[in-house]
Amino acid sequence: MADAGKRRVCYYYEPEIGNYYYGQGNAMKPHRVRMTHSLLEGYGLLHRMRVLRPIPASNRDLLRFHSDDYIAFLRSATPDRHLDADILRRFNMSDDCPVFYGLFDYCQSYAGASVCAARELNRGRADIAINWSGGLHHAKRSEASGFCYVNDIVLAILKLLEVHKIYGILFPPLNSLSFLFHSSFSVPLKLISERSIIPQLPTAMIGRDSLLLLARVLYVDIDIHHGDGVEEAFYLTDRVMTVSFHKFGDYFPGTGHIGDIGYGKGQHYAINVPLDEGIDDESYHYVFKPIMEKVMEAFRPDAVVLQCGADSLSGDRLGCFNLSIKGHSDCIRYMRSFNVPLLLLGGGGYTLRNVARCWCYETGVALGVELDDEMPDHEYIGYFGPEFTIHAVPSNMENKNSRRSLDATKVKLLETLSSLQH
């Protein structure tokens, strides 16, 4: 694929992250982020990018999306304190989302890393920013869900939306909004400035000879689960397009039907790609590449947020897809090739050795570095035997996605995207 060129990459890592523990039996293990970090160190990749420690998300950051009472609850909840059953039910604290030691610090840490990463992209100091502890896409405004407590992705997107560009119009002089919005608008424009702004500004403003354009952000989700929390947060807006590829049908969280397309101004700005179990690299890219090519052409985002959930890999403890690490990382390679500021986030991933393999390899893709298959010695090398390789062999499970069903999905979504005029 085109474009193995270099990019300026910054990578956020909190050394405490691996110590948070959801409890016995729970599939979500923050330790996998520490394993990834150790593997990155072993491959010498930490010297090729800026390694930054995140600033914990502040109350102000968290309250941009979440409700006061929910954040106050997360701040005060500990396993030793008696917690009212009605309150636990109200905030959906359950087996999936238990109250564990250090819960609020954990939330501040992974959310803070995503917000810092977005800020770094806004400042133009990096082309790609990475937070493997983030990507917790199910959290709602006032509710935990599916191992996710606060939605770091929504917070990062809100940060990316703060950027605007002021253009000076060179020719022909424009003085009417109707001309602007009803013409094909191909006049030459001169970029005057690019900076962060107050969030309350309207979508576009025109002065006598200048035009202010607010950023558009594309969200892409390759976790096996539907990115419901992010979709819901931006369902009514045309400034954020959400695209989720996921297993659909009798599968958590149950949302993500192909017919869910957004509403009001947001109609056609939510894209859902329902897939069946056993999908392999070839079938995945048969839909992923044409859909994302069309999305990039129709939406022309100023920034892309890519949730890289590794539970879509073959052999995942909770997942049922059959992607190889190469197939999964080709999504990152493909989105990177558009040369738009890119935020890479983690997400699901429950077979720990494969998660570390995948996110380490994908950091290499971000940097434009191909890694040796033979794994270097490092602290957690014992997890990777007997092969001790970065790649893992996919299984021979049945692919339940027929060419006919993939064609039908692709055709329907490409048709919808063709009707998009931005």
Catalytic residues: 138
- Give the C-alpha separation, 206 to 204, whole Å: 7
Q: Residue with CB nearest ligand V1S?
A: 348
Please identify which residue in 120, 143, 152, 223 interacts with Zn ion, judged by CB under 5 A: 223
Binding mask 46-75 for ligand V1S (x = CB under 6 A): ------------------------------
Is 229 a binder of Zn ion (CB under 5 A)? no
Classified as helix, coil or strand, 9 is strand
265-277 burial: b if 16+ Cβ within 10 Å, else e: ebebbbbbbbbbb
Is 385 a binder of ligand V1S (CB under 6 A)? no
Is 56 a binder of Zn ion (CB under 5 A)? no
**Shortest distance, CB of residue 110 to Zn ion, whole angstroms?**
15
The residues pairing with 221 across neighbouring beta strands, listed in sequence order, are: 244, 307
Q: What residues contact residue 221 under an 8 Å CB cut-off, 6+ apart?
A: 137, 227, 230, 242, 243, 244, 245, 246, 306, 307, 309, 347
Is 221 a binder of Zn ion (CB under 5 A)? no
- Give the C-alpha separation, 251 to 97, whole Å: 18
Is 148 a binder of ligand V1S (CB under 6 A)? yes
Q: Which does 246 bind (CB under 5 to 8 A by kind): Zn ion, ligand V1S, Ca ion, none?
A: Ca ion
Closest CA to 359 of 33, 7, 4: 33
**Shortest distance, CB of residue 201 to ligand V1S, whole angstroms?**
33
Closest CA to 308 of 344, 258, 354: 344
Is 139 a binder of ligand V1S (CB under 6 A)? no
Please identify which residue in 27, 320, 381, 414 interacts with ligand V1S, judged by CB under 6 A: 27
Listed ranges 124-132, 146-154, 229-237, 281-289: which one lies at the site for ligand V1S (CB under 6 A)? 146-154
Q: What residues contact residue 305 under an 8 Å CB cut-off, 6+ apart?
A: 153, 156, 157, 160, 217, 218, 219, 220, 342, 343, 345
For ligand V1S, the closer CB: 266 or 347: 347
Please identify which residue in 63, 187, 318, 340 interacts with ligand V1S, judged by CB under 6 A: 318
Closest CA to 106 of 142, 141, 84, 139: 139
Binding site for ligand V1S (CB under 6 A): 25-27, 94-96, 136-138, 146-148, 223, 225, 252, 309, 311, 318, 347-348
Binding site for Zn ion (CB under 5 A): 223, 225, 309, 311, 348
